Amino acid sequence: MEAAIEVKGLRKSFKDAEVLKGVDFEVKRGEIFALLGSNGAGKTTVVRILATLLKQDGGTARVTGHDVASKPDRVRQSISLTGQFAAVDEILTGRENLLMIAKLRHLEHPRRVADELLNRFGLHGAADRKASAYSGGMRRRLDIAMSLIGNPQVIFLDEPTTGLDPEARIEAWRIVKELADGGTTVFLTTQYLEEAEQLADRIAILHEGRIIADGTLQDLKKRFPPAKTEYVEKQPSLEEIFLAIIGNREVK
């Protein structure tokens, strides 16, 4: 399967702090890829470099076949980014937010595009209400809907469910699965390990500036000591695997 993202030897420092120390990974087209790491591990730095918002100090990164450093315009045409906080204009209505992005993207029939997305994300009944009156889950749905205008090949979701209640998180998970089912490549960073366990086709763990594990959930489980059979064989959770791999506690 063709790669949507290729990263080799990626390095980035901020003053005297080396955040990325040679990061390597690949994301296949149409898969959900989860990048895990503790706070400050450099997950957002990776996303910002891949989204052409930040320049790396070394190494290479290609998104949809285009080098992020030499062809940033081509990369931006093929991607979308949803950050940790919903980037909606609260003064505008849901429909007006979508119309604004569709016009900025120079799309034909922006009202039709807006209506299709309002229907798809269950926001049609609230289309003419100001976004300031939306719940957290509704704002996140609107934010992701805005990100899909122009049919990006790759969408970056940087901790997309931070601050959402459990019901809204599950709703966001459904949307992410639908995106991947429709052929969109989803690059997800999250602090919720259950989220990666539920959604990701492949998982990478970023620790102390490097990728220290990369594979499917089943691949990562193989790195965990065999389950002890007592009354019931207990399979390790992704949280237990993550903590064991980064060495934050002994495996018991």
Q: What is the pLDDT of residues 209-249, one digit of tens each?
A: 999 999 998 888 887 666 555 556 667 788 778 888 887 54
Contact status, residue 196 vs residue 17, Cβ threshold 8 Å: no
* Chain Cα centroid distance, residue 139: 17
Say what percent of the chain tops pLDDT 70. Answer: 92
- Is residue 192 over pLDDT 70? yes
Instruction: State the pLDDT at residue 249.
Output: 46
DSSP structural state of residue 90: T
Distances (CA, A) of 148 to 53, 144, 185: 19, 6, 12
169-173 contacts at long range (C-beta below 8 A, 24 or more positions apart) = 169/195, 171/137, 171/141, 172/137, 172/140, 172/141, 172/144, 173/198, 173/199
Please give the span between the terminal C-alpha atoms of the chain, in angstroms, as a whole number: 38
Closest CA to 189 of 91, 17, 49, 2: 49
41-45, 60-64, 134-138, 152-156: least confident range: 134-138
Contact status, residue 188 vs residue 200, Cβ threshold 8 Å: yes
In this structure, the chain runs to a length of 252
Q: In CATH, what number does 3-86+154-216 get?
A: 3.40.50.300
Q: In the predicted model, what is the mean pLDDT of residues 7-23?
A: 95
- Tokens 């994301």: give the residue: 27
88-102, 153-167, 194-208, 221-235: least confident range: 221-235
- Tens-digit pLDDT profile for residues 25-39: 999 999 999 999 888
Q: What is the pTM of this model?
A: 0.82
94, 95, 101, 106 alpha-carbon torsion, rounded to 10° = 180
Structural domain spans, the chain: 3-86+154-216
- Is residue 252 over pLDDT 50? no
